[in-house]
A and B are shown apart, each in its own frame.
Chain A
Amino acid sequence: MDTIDRTGCSGLMRMRRRQAIGFASASLGGLWMTQFAEQLARASEDKSQRPKSLLILWCQGGPSQLDTFDPHSGTVIGGDVKSIESSVKGIVLADNMQATAQQLHRTCLIRSMISKEGDHERATYNVKTGWRPEPTVTHPSIGSVLCYASPSNLEIPRHISILSGQWPGKAGYLGPAYDAFKTNDPANPIPNLTARVEKEEFERRIDILNTLETEFQRGRFASLDRDRTQHQSATERATQMMSSSQLAAFDVKQESQSKRDNFGDSEFGRGCLAAIRLLETGVRCVEVEIGGWDTHINNHQFQADRAKVLDKALAATLAELADREMLDKTIVMCGGEFGRTPRINPASGRDHWPHGFSMLLAGGAFRKGHVHGSTNANPDSEMLDGLKTPDPEQLTEKSVTIADLHATVLTALGVNHKDTHMTPIGRPLAWSDGNVIEELLEKA
């Protein structure tokens, strides 16, 4: 697999070069000059030439469409939620989403997502990969596909999961080189990035390691590292990362206090701000997770608590991406593995509901201020009670399957969703078997 650009110099050589630049810039007035120069260089890049990136704001547990993007206030299924007007005339959101409502003109909202998975793990797999789980093959998440389809020379990982829970984006049959790099609240340092010994001692250790590697390769499998282990390459990349100035992208403290305040004083808010900085640095896919949406009891209160955090961070993310002129090249996707039942259960909760839920998209070629599909405000009560098989035709209008969503997002990212890849079991698979929903995209 072509995971690493091998045309450049080795990581250890890069480290020395960077040190040299560091010394040079220090003599000119300090290390900040290097970073400043990098920022200047990046700013001068032709933004239209930058590849497209993906930001997934992942609501783990199943957010209630009725308490967020698809309220039916005043109806039998609406619950206690109120509707509020948005920046798009005639479109209302739940009153939990006041800040996002003012950014709705930047988004494309699907209110008719359907799937066949009602279990958290299976449904998460389904939405993150675009495929239903199969025992014989593990499909790659959309972030892994994006990274596979577009190699780069970044010193930090190109696929990152911030606040990852149980099921971050996995690379499946593409191999772990495309797994998401997992990290926690950006308020804290990234674990295992700092050597546990002084610099000189670390270099001595690397020197001994190189001796061992040379000895091990003697007489063994040709191109051992390139074609088999990638162990030394990974060591180089890890060492590069440990000393990379690009790591600064994780550090949200470099942003002004007022900007940080916009995203809210929450780990999710900080995660969103870090995600923007990472995307700006060249990372191709960042996933930021906010959990706690599985509200089988006391739905209204728990959803409102979660939505408060999501709303502020989501609205700030959309505004910030627009301010930085990044929205054209960044696809934002916000949603969870399924929605929640229209029927409120005896514990005042809502249960799992994959038969009509919402997914918010923004950026790139996605239409702005557009709402696609709808859910039925008066669904057949026998379907709600499980006495009848849920019928997408009855429950939603213009339903969108998970596979169709993936085909559309991949297309918006510039990846041909029909491209096939040979899986380890010898079965060629396309990136997605869905169809592009043209209606969601701006006309070319």
Chain B
Amino acid sequence: MVSRKVLQPILMFGVLLFAASIATSVLRSRPAIRVSTVGTDGFAKDLRPVIDSCNSDLDHWIQTANMPAAGQADNLTIARRVALGLIGSGLSLEEIRAMELVPESQQIEWVTNYLLQDRRWADYFGERFARAMVGTDEGPFLLFRRRRFNTWLSEQLHEDVGYDSIVRSVIASEGLWTDTPSVNFITASMSEENQQRCNAVVLAGRTSRTFLAQRIDCLQCHDDFIDQHNFGSIEKPIPGLQTHFHELAAFYGTTGIKDNPFSGIREAGGNYETKLLGSTDPTTIEPEVPFNKELLPSEGKPRQRLATWLTHPDNKAFSRATVNRVWALLFSRPLVEPVDSIPLEGDIPAILDTLADDFSKHEFNMRRLVRLIVSTDAFRRDSRAEFEVTKDHEACLAVFPITQLRPDQVAGCMIQAGRISTIDLDSSVFLRLARYGNTNDFLRDFGDRGVDEFQSDAITISQRLVLMNGNLVTDRTQQNIVANAATRVARLVSDDKKAIDSVFLSVLGRSPSSTEAEKLCQHICGKFGDDRVKAISDIYWAMMNSTEFAWNH
């Protein structure tokens, strides 16, 4: 028996050690951003001709529409767009200060590279692509591991794996959903009633929409009778048939769990059968693709053949679909709307093909595509102009279009704006956990868009009430010298003008106009101690409740 006298000090020591480790984790300061290690590499000279070509496409578009174009936005505004598109929140004050150390002409390249190197980018893009691939439903219990799928996707992006390779793994993988995370694309479609087989119809719909930007779901039940789909050319049209959809589904028709569940997803044998409209008996359907049939390999397992065809560099629908989605992430709206419906032939913006061609020629490299898009004139244009801005100007990208942030972006901005330093992988585990919890709580109250991420719409009264009186905004603006930027600015920045400037940079990512500076300096002028904290908190609250905060511009 160990005596109490011996055990007590040991336990005390253990408790102290645990407390010390927590305190260290909470209080340790994250390493400072080292501006010189980021650089502007990646914006190599070979991007220039493609950027010029994109800008030429854009100029032609604007000229054809006979519209004047806005000038270039300031760097802080463009940097906010980059951050919203790549990590789903604004930049921290710390990051903005680091960017200011870079020569002005290189700031956007710097901030883009800085974020592309950061794991936050891969995590954020991974989550967005995962939503399109596996939806947002819970999926079958035990068989579907969303977090594993998301983490795997994030790792692939972080390691610069080509998007074509990622998609091939997603479509054609075999194995268990636990040790082969990509197979969760298949298991997400399974239902509790029929756990042995994947749902080929669901997978065909997701494949066509997410990877090919073809909304052919209506062909599941009937032939196209309103000329919505053309799988041929303009000269020789091939109308969409019900069989087109089911031939695509047939690639997944034999996928399932064969005999032993521990072998995971395999080709489980059998045929794909469906009852076509007008027939009383089921018909056996063989796998076939609806267009570019010459690119389909004749050998291999069905899903491997489909994956090879889909990601073939000559299958333009694949690269167009991806470019349109990445464009949507950066602009908060796609080039062609909706994001998952691009006609194979016909009137689409020339810049989409310029970017799609470059994407397929450069191993479907996601970072290169991002760098190209943020370098275009369209991305860097101002959203305000000397002329009266209308929808027509936005339609041809003569101005940067104003779009509503998604709920997760609003949460991300609010959480980051509430702090001076950056919340990233270098932050303490407790801070990151708090961010995760705060985001989920906010989305529960505010609402989440689910799979339709780019269907921007007006804000509701419930959402405004959450922003005005909800827990997150209250927590981020109340007096708290450790956690909240508002209190820290109020206590540590004694100069009113500098304090207002810091508040604007951390919340709205810009400096105040002279009108704003004058008004808000008056608001805090002559206030000290708690009164000053309160006054600065008022400004934080107002900014977090403004249109500017909740919209990309």
Contacts and interface: CB of A to CB of B under 8 A. Distances in A.
Interface residues of B, number: 57
A132 to B, nearest CB: 10
Interface string B204-222: 0100010000010110000
A230 B394 contact: no
Interface in A169-197: 175-177, 179, 181-182, 191-196
Interface stretch (A94-102, A211-219, A265-273): A211-219
Contacts of A157: 461-462
A221 B389 contact: yes
Contact of A209 (B462, B465, B523, B545): B545
Contacts of B445: 191-192
A237 to B, nearest CB: 5
A228 B402 contact: yes
A201 B386 CA distance: 36
A248 interface: no
A229 B461 CA distance: 13
A224 B137 CA distance: 34
A134 B534 contact: no
A216 B546 contact: yes
A9 interface: no
Given A219-B389, A221-B394, A230 B452 contact: no
Contacts of B483: none
A195 B539 CA distance: 15
A403 B50 CA distance: 52
A220 B402 contact: yes
Contact of B458 (A3, A134, A218, A222): A3
B390 interface: yes
Interface string B528-543: 0000001000110111
Contact of A208 (B457, B461, B542): B542
Contacts of B550: 229, 231
B460 A212 contact: no
B402 A222 contact: no
A213 B458 contact: no
Interface in A293-339: none
A425 interface: yes
B547 A225 contact: yes
A229 B402 contact: yes
Interface string B480-520: 00000000000000000000000000000000010110011
A242 B470 CA distance: 13
Interface in A355-405: none
Interface string B371-389: 0000000000001111011
Interface string A74-101: 0000000000000000000000000000
Interface in A389-427: 424-425
Interface string B440-472: 000001010000100101111111111011100
A347 interface: no
Contact of B538 (A176, A208, A221): A208
B145 interface: no
A238 interface: yes
A216 B547 contact: yes
Interface in B421-445: 445
B341 A425 contact: yes
Given A222-B389, A231-B547, A192 B520 contact: no
B216 to A, nearest CB: 10
A262 interface: no
Nearest to B546: A212
B539 A208 contact: yes
Interface string A132-145: 00111010000000
B458 A195 contact: no
Contact of B462 (A179, A230, A242): A179
B460 A179 contact: yes
B419 interface: no
B343 interface: no
Contacts of B158: none
B140 to A, nearest CB: 12
A195 B469 contact: yes
A118 B257 CA distance: 24
Given A193-B469, A224-B402, A205 B541 contact: yes
Contact of A221 (B402, B534, B543): B402
A234 B461 contact: yes
Contacts of B390: 221-222
B406 interface: no
B150 to A, nearest CB: 22
Contacts of A209: 542, 545-546
A219 B215 CA distance: 37
A425 B541 CA distance: 37
A121 B450 CA distance: 14
A176 B460 contact: yes
B338 A212 contact: no
B548 interface: yes
B457 A175 contact: yes
A238 B468 contact: yes
Contacts of B389: 219-222
Interface in A236-285: 237-238, 241-242
A3 B386 CA distance: 30
Nearest to B544: A209
With a 10 A CB-CB cut-off, give which of B394, B515, B545 has the most chain A CB atoms: B545
Contact of A193 (B452, B463, B465): B465
A119 B194 CA distance: 13
A229 B391 CA distance: 13
With a 10 A CB-CB cut-off, give which of A206, A221, A225 has the most chain B CB atoms: A221
Contacts of A231: 458-459, 464, 546-547, 550-551
Interface in A106-139: 119, 121, 134-136, 138
Contact of B523 (A138, A208, A216, A238): A208
Nearest to B516: A215
A229 B469 contact: no
B205 A135 contact: yes
Interface of B: 137, 191, 205, 209, 215, 217-218, 338, 341, 383-386, 388-391, 394, 402, 404, 445, 447, 452, 455, 457-466, 468-470, 474, 513, 515-516, 519-520, 523, 534, 538-539, 541-543, 545-548, 550-551, 553
17 contacts: A135-B209, A135-B217, A175-B457, A179-B447, A182-B462, A192-B445, A193-B465, A196-B469, A201-B534, A201-B538, A205-B541, A209-B545, A215-B515, A234-B460, A238-B468, A241-B461, A425-B341
Given A177-B460, A211-B516, A212-B516, 6 more contacts: A192-B465, A220-B402, A221-B390, A229-B404, A234-B463, A237-B464
10 smallest CB-CB distances across A and B, nearest first, come from A219-B384, A208-B542, A230-B458, A238-B464, A231-B547, A192-B465, A209-B542, A192-B469, A216-B548, A234-B464
